[in-house]
Amino acid sequence: MGLATQIGQIRSAEVRLAEENAAFLRAMGISMVHLLASPGAGKTTLILRTAETLGRQLRLAVIQGGLSRQIGTPPLSDLDLPTIWIDTGGQPYLDASMIREALEELPIADVDLLLVEEIGTLTSPPKRSLGASLRVVIASLPEGADCPLRYPEPFSVADAVVLNKLDLLPHLEFDLPSFHKAVRRQNSQAPIFELSCRTGKGLKEWSVWLLEQTRSIS
């Protein structure tokens, strides 16, 4: 068998697994949200803030991808939430089979909203599906207003875009209208949430949207 055929078979097996994950989550009434962002954009902090905001209304769980248990292990253990850490063994992105294994470990019957923190990068194959109901891209002010132009693909497939670290606006030359325009070049529909995980500004709008999306699934 040629290399191209083998790669093709692995890809279609991944697609099948992602579809199975999606069907399983649908049947269980669980909303799985795939969070994509550059390193340090605020994925973990947004998960923490979201848990604080929605923890009373929804039963949350977290899957967190990492390249190594030692580096940057975030303080999610402070949360009283079912959390699975996936060490990808150097692979710079999660895949559907890793999610499937994590789903088997989680107390899935007691979960409404499952937040998946992808490894920090905007360059991994973004069309690759894990079986999530929603894909959310998080950008942050230090990445510049042209971030969606430099990394168009994740923005083009996003169901929502979060712009984090809004508290830094007075200190950076960041043009908000340019950012919106850049997102709209890739994606005409996704809502854009401007927020600061530090000050809490804008978190309510994000949480209300996420709650609505989750309730429409369960």
Q: For residues 49-108, which are near ligand GTP according to CB under 6 A?
A: 72, 74
Q: Which of 24, 28, 40, 180 binds ligand GTP (CB under 6 A)?
A: 40
Taking each helix axis from N to C terminus, what angle separates 96-105 and 3-28, rounded to the nearest 10 degrees?
A: 40
Q: Give whole-number Cα distances, 166 to 181, 182, 193, in Å.
A: 17, 17, 10
Q: Residue 16: beta bridge partners?
A: none
- The number of C-alpha atoms within 13 Å of 75 and in the hemisphere containing its C-beta is 6
Q: For residues 188-207, which are near ligand GTP according to CB under 6 A?
A: 196-198
Shortest Å distance, C-beta 119 to Mg ion:
9
Q: Give whole-number Cα distances, 178 to 96, 144, 145, 175, in Å.
A: 34, 10, 6, 5
Using the minimum distance from each CB to ligand GTP, give the nearer residue, 111 or 162: 162
Interface mask toward ligand GTP for 146-175; x: CB under 6 A: ------------------xx-xx-------
Using the minimum distance from each CB to ligand GTP, give the nearer residue, 187 or 196: 196
Size of interface with ligand GTP, in residues (CB under 6 A): 18
Angle (CA) 66-67-71 rounded to 5° is: 85
- 44 counts as binding Mg ion under rule CB under 5 A: yes
Shortest Å distance, C-beta 45 to ligand GTP:
3
Q: Give whole-number Cα distances, 128 to 11, 14, 55, 132, in Å.
A: 9, 9, 29, 11
37 binds, among Mg ion, ligand GTP, none (CB under 5 to 8 A by kind): ligand GTP
Tokens of 166: 């809004």
- Note the residues at the interface with ligand GTP (CB under 6 A): 37, 39-45, 72, 74, 120, 164-165, 167-168, 196-198
